[in-house]
Structure formats: C-alpha cells, structure tokens
Amino acid sequence: MMKKLPVIISPYIKTRYPYNKLKICRRCNHFTVLGDEDCPVCGKSSLLGVEQRAASILKRSMWGARVIVMLIWAISLVVSQSILQTSLSIIGGAVLLALLWTLQRRLTPALLRVELENLFHKEAYTLVAGLANDREEAIKVFHSGNKPLAYEMLREIGALVHTDQLRIEQILLLQSFMLRKDMDLMIDPLLMDHFNTDLVEYIGELAKIRRDLLKENTFRYVLLHEIQILKMEQGDNILASVAGAAVRMQRYISLYPYLIMRYAGKLPKDRFLRLYRMLQSNPEIGTGPLYEEVMRVYNEKYKWDEDFRSTGNETELK
Ligand SMILES: [Zn+2]
C-alpha cells in the first residue's frame, strides 16, 4: 500500500462563474487559470481577466457607435440650409446621442455577457490550448515533487475542463495524501459517469471524515455501481460508510432506503443509533422494509444497549 503524505492544501476560492479566474495575456493572447499577473508562456506581467478583456472590447464598440452618431450629427449640421434645419439638427442629434448613451448604459451587463461569449467562441482553439498548457504545467510541478501544489493547479483547471482524465489525476493525488476533516475537499466535480475504483475509495474515505460532502450525486453514483463496488476488496465497508453518511439527513433516508437497508447491519454503532432514532421519531419514514431491517438489527445487536433507551437529544450526531 502506498504511504500517504501529510500535506497542507490551500482552501479553494470559489467564484460566481468558473471563468471568473480565467485570464488572457495582453501580449501573446495565451489563456490561463493559473497565473495572477505573469503569463506562463511569454513571462510578461500582462495577464488580464477575461471579463476585463470583454469589457474593454465592449467599451471600444460603444465608443464606435457614439462616434458614428456624432458624425451623422455633424454632417446634418453642415448640410443644414436654414436656421430651422440647424435647430432641428441640433435637437435631433442631442436626443439621439442621449438615447444611445442611456441604452448602452442599461444594456451593459447583457452586452458584456454577449461579448464574453464572442470572445470564447472566437478564441476557442487558443482557450483549449491554454488550458492544456496549464495541465502540462501542473504535471511538471507533480514531477518536481510538489504534489499538493500540483493538486491545487489541477483543481483550478478542473473548474473549467470537465474531463475524466483530469478528475482521475486529482483523485490519484488526493488518494496519495493523508486526508483530514479540516481540509477543503470536494466530491461533486470529481464524479464520473463510469465506475472507477480510485474514485470509490476516495468516496469511502470522505464518508468517514467528511460525510457532509456526500450528497445526492454521490449516493446515485454509488447505487449505480453497487455491484462493482461489492467486488472490491473493501467494497462492503465502503458501502456501509456511504450508508452511514446517508443517515445524516431524513431526506436521504427517504430517498435511499434500500441502500441504507442493505448495509444497516454493518453500520457503526453511532450511525445505527442515529438511524434508529430517526426512524423512531419520524413515522412517515419509519415504516416498510427499512424499518423492519433496522428492528431486526436492533433486536439482534442492541436490544439491551443503554444508549438505545435514552432520548438521545443530548448526543445528537450528524
Ligand atoms: Zn503572454
């Protein structure tokens, strides 16, 4: 078994949109999610956020429209042949310019989004190449021995690039670390469509130290691949840990009663106690095959256990 490394991982800084961290170089047009100022390709400190780039393109096109209106205004003034025509031109031009200005100001957020989409569309090839280069940089860091930094870099790229290869690389790195509950870990972005033993082992570990991270997507993944998981060496223990995590919320007990039922007998005492109490105190979920199985396990293992007789309010476990 591989020796696990004690590491420190920086917390992941979430942004509203994944592209919020994406930057483009003003000099060589290279995209990256890894640099703050210095471009990883040309080395110059000319990185600019993609939103800033879109905003500056938009500003230019807005000024272009204003200049055209002002030109039309000027021409109309020049060709005016009477005082009336000149007055009408002055008023008409001013109204048109004010209208354009107001419209542009109001539409700026929507126009910015369009400009950003245009930028991604126009630079699609450069964007893909830039992110591929970022991944290569992360692999270089990995080979240099700085695994935590390599993971952090892959995690940043993974926010924009959703490929299984990138997910597997992150999972393998995570599996080489000693995971602790105070680490900023994640599961949803790493879930794949197909069965993967490393992913399942990672889920099993999270089910023990960060069960709050296991949500519907993870339970669905585990249920979908349950037969293959059972063939793994520690498969049934992993499934029992996942079932123990599902006991965390009444909603999950209602949604996945059969998963919990199948591993109720293997749950650690604290998880089984929580399940038992949840079923006792919630009549709407406390019926059916799950209830019968829980009562069977209770009668077999915990019938004379003092902890099962108290109300349990003082030791509410999540
Ligand atoms: Zn550059």
Q: What are phi and psi of 249, to 5 degrees?
A: -130, 145
Question: Which pLDDT belongs to residue 168?
Answer: 96
Band the pLDDT of 274: cuts 50, 70, 90: very high
Q: How far is the CA of 122 from the centre of ligand 1 (A)?
A: 18
Q: What are phi and psi of 57, to 5 degrees?
A: -65, -45
Q: pLDDT tens for residues 234-257?
A: 999 999 999 999 999 999 999 999
Question: Which pLDDT belongs to residue 314?
Answer: 44
Q: pLDDT tens for residues 9-25?
A: 999 999 999 899 999 99
Q: How far is the CA of 43 from the centre of ligand 1 (A)?
A: 6
Token look-up 């591929």 returns 132
Q: How far is the CA of 132 from the centre of ligand 1 (A)?
A: 15
pLDDT at 221 over 90: yes
pLDDT at 316 over 60: no
Band the pLDDT of 1: cuts 50, 70, 90: low
Q: pLDDT tens for residues 141-185?
A: 999 999 999 999 999 999 999 999 999 999 999 999 999 999 999
Q: pLDDT tens for residues 56-92?
A: 999 999 999 999 989 998 898 888 888 888 888 888 8
Q: How far is the CA of 14 from the centre of ligand 1 (A)?
A: 25
The span from the CA of 251 to the CA of 80, in Å, is 75
Q: How far is the CA of 289 from the centre of ligand 1 (A)?
A: 63
In 10 A of CB 292, how many CB atoms?
11
Question: Which pLDDT belongs to residue 112?
Answer: 93
Q: What are phi and psi of 25, to 5 degrees?
A: -85, 130
Question: What pTM was estimated for this model as a whole?
Answer: 0.84
Band the pLDDT of 315: cuts 50, 70, 90: very low
Q: How far is the CA of 129 from the centre of ligand 1 (A)?
A: 13
Q: How far is the CA of 130 from the centre of ligand 1 (A)?
A: 10
Q: How far is the CA of 33 from the centre of ligand 1 (A)?
A: 13
Q: How far is the CA of 139 from the centre of ligand 1 (A)?
A: 20
Q: How far is the CA of 163 from the centre of ligand 1 (A)?
A: 25
Residues of the chain with pLDDT > 70: what percent?
96
Q: How far is the CA of 24 from the centre of ligand 1 (A)?
A: 8
pLDDT at 297 over 90: yes
End-to-end CA distance of the chain: 31
Question: Which pLDDT belongs to residue 318?
Answer: 54
Higher-confidence residue of 120 and 3: namely: 120
Q: How far is the CA of 134 from the centre of ligand 1 (A)?
A: 13
Q: How far is the CA of 36 from the centre of ligand 1 (A)?
A: 12
DSSP string covering the chain: -PPPBP---PPP---SSGGGG-EEETTT--EESS-SSS-TTT--S-EEEHHHHHHHHHHHHHHHHHHHHHHHHHHHHHH--SHHHHHHHHHHHHHHHHHHHHHHHHHHHHHHHHHHHHHHHHTHHHHHHHHHHHHHHHHHHHHHT-HHHHHHHHHHHHTT---HHHHHHHHHHHHTB---TTS----GGG--SS--HHHHHHHHHHHHH-GGG--HHHHHHHHHTHHHHHTSTTHHHHHHHHHHHHTT-HHHHHH-HHHHHHHGGGS-HHHHHHHHHHHHH-TTTS-HHHHHHHHHHIIIIITT-GGGTS--GGG---
